[in-house]
Structure 1
Amino acid sequence: MAIERSSHPWLAALGVYLEPRVARMLLLGFSSGLPLLLTLGTLSFWLREAGVDRTTIGFLSWVALAYGLKWAWAPLVDRLHLPWLTRRLGRRRGWLLASQLAVVAGLMGMAFSDPATHLERLVVFALLTAFASATQDIAIDAFRIESAPPQQQGAMAAAYQAGYRLAVILASAGALWIAARFDASETTYEAWPWTIAYLAMAGFMAVGMVTVLFSAEPRVTVPRETLEREARVSARLHGSGRLPKGLADLLAWGYSAVVSPFLDFLLRYRWQALLILALIATYRISDVVMGVMANPFYVDMGYTKDEVAAVSKVYGVIMTIVGAAIGGVLSLRFGVMRILFLGALLSAATNLLFAWLSTQGHNLPGLVFAVSADNLSAGIASAAFVAYLSGLTNVAYSATQYALFSSVMLLLPKFLAGFSGLAVDRFGYESFFVATALIGLPVLLLVWLAARSERQRAAFAPLPPQSKVR
């Protein structure tokens, strides 16, 4: 009987995943992860197969900068009401459905835009898809935080990540598999297999849309303290007589929603904020810059869609999940900063495997080995990096500050990745992959400096009350 009673808490804990609001996050995570690779990796495979040169493919990766700039319009998603949709669905669900409809429109536009003949039109629809997808991510984060108490946020996040990873597999391996099934020949290019694949992906967005329609709107209002602060700022601006009331209210809202979270971070870390932002901006630089050329590399090396789908898009994602699990355990055992250093070192070093692979021609076992090591190290690095970013946020501004950090993480790497095709055309794949490993080395110095700075802050921080008693 004692054994049976002791098992009850575990059964109760696992039961949280059967709750409707947690299950909904699995489906919303799927909706969030689906558009990402359709504007990045899968798209680059399509572009290369259509004969688009590598330099152009590299520059087109700048479409993903929409994800790095989402902090700029996150306050609008947080506070702005949409005509009709907000009244019928609520703030969060209204923005979710609007962004999902925009993703569907973008994917359908991409489906009917052959890059061999209408590249400019394809780029426009890819930008629409990326912008709408980033907006959906903002709305989902807010929906998740507001839909459950703090003790259930771990389960909500886990369900979201599971759905997200499933969608990544579908948008990469699934899209390639669909295109391959309708492709009469791997040696000649036809656009219509890709049209079918992208239309199918647009159809899968119905998962998220139906979830939104059958979900409850979170019953959360803007905190009274926030409204009072905005009122005080507006009164000062309007009381001077130099600004009309409407403009004063708008500026006060902007200060509360945009300026305050960033100012809080700078005041807490002062000069160390520059070091932290430099680390965030460069930590994933090796992976991101190399990643843009991965699919063109597979095409140029003669790997088929099925081979890439199986090894890189399915097996690789599984290895990333395994790496993330390992990284989480190691971070708990040895500390976040040590594993942050290890992740940066492995991420840079594994790029050298692709430099070696570029000299082997069509080598399927070599591809499996390189992808395994690369994705495993990426998972370890990601787990430590997410833990590091989470530790930097102030709980009073967690959503906005985390959006800022995750955006800064992408801006510089994505900008440099735009020149990756130019670098490959000029120097070749081997030299390019070696260079992507070398640019990751300064990150190791930044991690060491950030760890030392963190130790200094801890040493001079006042002891908590319970420690003083001891």
Structure 2
Amino acid sequence: MSEASGEVVRGWRGALQAFGTRSALTLFFFGFGCGLPFFLVGNTLAIWLRDAGWELGPIGLVSYLTFFYVFKFMWAPLLDSRSLPGFGRLGRRRGWLLAAQLSIAAGLAALALTGPVSSVPLFLALAGFTALAGATQDTMVDAYRVEIAPIEMQGALAATYTLGYRIGLQLCGGALVLYLADFAGWRIGYLAMAGFALIPALATLLSPEPPPGEGFDKAARPSFVDAYVKPFAEFFRRHGWVLGLVLLAFVGLFKLPDQMLSIAGPFYLDTGFTKSDIATVSKLYGVWMGIGGAFLGGMVVAAIGVRKSLLIAAIAVAVSNLLFILMSMYPGQLWTFVATISGDNLSQGFAGTVLVSFLASLVDKRYTATQYALLSSLANLPGKLIGGFSGFIVEASSYTTFFVISSVSVIPTLLLLAWLWNRIVVDTQTDARGANR
């Protein structure tokens, strides 16, 4: 494609040109597609279940359905090395992408028609199927973004992807579906989201297929060692076993305070706010705070480097969880809701950008999809494990106690960062060779 193969213009002029490319527009729609289903099988689904009369304990366990996003590294090598039968004409990346996007639309429509009361096992199975399709789409979009354009354009692609992701995640999968549920019912809300899920599918059909990676033969079937073992073995060969394991532990614990908050949606209802209130403040207003935090994170990383930014981000996310206590002290008061969402979304957006910058410095370009899937999956695993029991923790104590626990859970992360401080070398000038030395 022209933007991938033409002469690269550097500096501010090149950055502005990168935002106007076809690839940047494509990544906006792909970001929208990746963000849309996540709340619909997570926080928004929890609100639906609470609204339908479910107890907090089972709602917390339902959050384990999003474990498909945590374990996507398990099938990433398959997606990385083979084309999907029946979709081969679209190419390796677009074939898997289109299949995942159509599956998301079908899953959301089926959830709408089934509902969480009439057939609970079927409803949960459909939610799991949708989460699996969403995680597969995420893996393919990450690989597509790396392969479609040179490294000079990756910043613009990441920016347009993030903008699309936040719109899909919070404006549609969060705010709009809650408005629709409030005025027309949950079935209409989820059917509308199923229709929106077809938009990125159209973008897939209209977008080009990236060139295959070096040495890829679509007719070949790589061995188990080539597909599954080599990407992980290379990570530890490059970093060493001790540093490699500590890096994985740090990545896994970094988002723990945030990932524990799987009961945030029910908490909003229990503190006296309606679904429309939640949609307006948590989703519609919160999305712009998240985008602002993401751009702030990018500027801070550029100014002071990744290591110091990691420290600021970890502390900011932990402290922002204490704002939820303010809501519990003043239930039903809008100003506490706005203050909490401001701090929570700003810190999440900031931390997300910092973490992506850090993960990019850890992967080998030869195994980008598989290693990135492993690291991004680990970033969600511990929090999801604990978050599944969050409802039971609240029922056994109180919301205030739970939010304090979630905040102090940052301590292991800070201890690991202190150990890593002089053992990792990452900064904004690190290129592909420096990251993989």
Same topology, TM > 0.5: yes
Where does the alignment leave 5 or more consecutive residues of structure 1 unmatched? Answer: 1-7, 183-192, 228-248, 459-463, 465-470
How far apart are 1:449 and its partner, in Å? 1.2
Tell me which of 210, 214, 220 is aligned to 1:223: 214
**1:393 equivalent in alignment to 2:363:** yes
Residues in 2 aligned to 1:108 and 1:296: alpha-carbon distance in whole angstroms: 23
Identify if the C-alpha distance between structure 1 residues 373 and 445 changes in structure 2 by more than 3 Å, giving closer, same or farther. same
In structure 1, what residue type is equivalent to 2:244? A
Residues in 2 aligned to 1:400 and 1:20: alpha-carbon distance in whole angstroms: 26
Q: Structure 2-normalised TM-score? A: 0.90
**1:287 equivalent in alignment to 2:258:** yes
Identify if the C-alpha distance between structure 1 residues 131 and 384 changes in structure 2 by more than 3 Å, giving closer, same or farther. same
Per-residue displacement from partner, 1:13-43 (whole Å, max 9, x unpaired)? Answer: 4233332232122112211211111001110
Residues in 1 aligned to 2:403 and 2:411: alpha-carbon distance in whole angstroms: 14
CA contact (8 A) 1:39 1:64 kept: yes
Per-residue displacement from partner, 1:267-314 (whole Å, max 9, x unpaired)? Answer: 122111121111111111011102x11100011111011111111112
Larger Rg: 1 or 2?
1
| Structure 1 range deviating more: 12-21 or 121-130 | 12-21
CA contact (8 A) 1:326 1:380 kept: yes
Partner residue of 2:25?
23
Partner residue of 2:3?
none
CA contact (8 A) 2:83 2:93 kept: no
Residues in 2 aligned to 1:114 and 1:26: alpha-carbon distance in whole angstroms: 31
1:246-395 to 2 correspondences below 5 Å: 253-270=223-240, 271-290=242-261, 292-395=262-365
Partner residue of 1:140?
141
- Identical-pair percentage: 39
In structure 2, what residue type is equivalent to 1:371? I
Per-residue displacement from partner, 1:110-130 (whole Å, max 9, x unpaired)? Answer: 112222332222111100000
How far apart are 1:410 and its partner, in Å? 1.0
Identify if the C-alpha distance between structure 1 residues 127 and 447 changes in structure 2 by more than 3 Å, giving closer, same or farther. same
**1:83 equivalent in alignment to 2:74:** no
SS for the counterpart of 1:135 is: helix
Per-residue displacement from partner, 1:289-348 (whole Å, max 9, x unpaired)? Answer: 02x111000111110111111111122121121112222222222221112111111211
CA contact (8 A) 1:348 1:441 kept: no
SS for the counterpart of 1:51 is: coil
Residues in 2 aligned to 1:158 and 1:148: alpha-carbon distance in whole angstroms: 14
CA contact (8 A) 1:286 1:348 kept: yes
Partner residue of 2:374?
404
Where does the alignment leave 5 or more consecutive residues of structure 2 unmatched? Answer: 1-9, 428-432
Partner residue of 2:199?
207
RMSD: 2.1
Partner residue of 2:125?
124
How far apart are 1:9 and its partner, in Å? 7.6
CA contact (8 A) 2:175 2:280 kept: yes
Identify if the C-alpha distance between structure 1 residues 310 and 418 changes in structure 2 by more than 3 Å, giving closer, same or farther. same
Equivalent residues, number: 415
Partner residue of 1:115?
116
Partner residue of 1:189?
none
CA contact (8 A) 2:175 2:283 kept: yes
SS for the counterpart of 2:211 is: coil
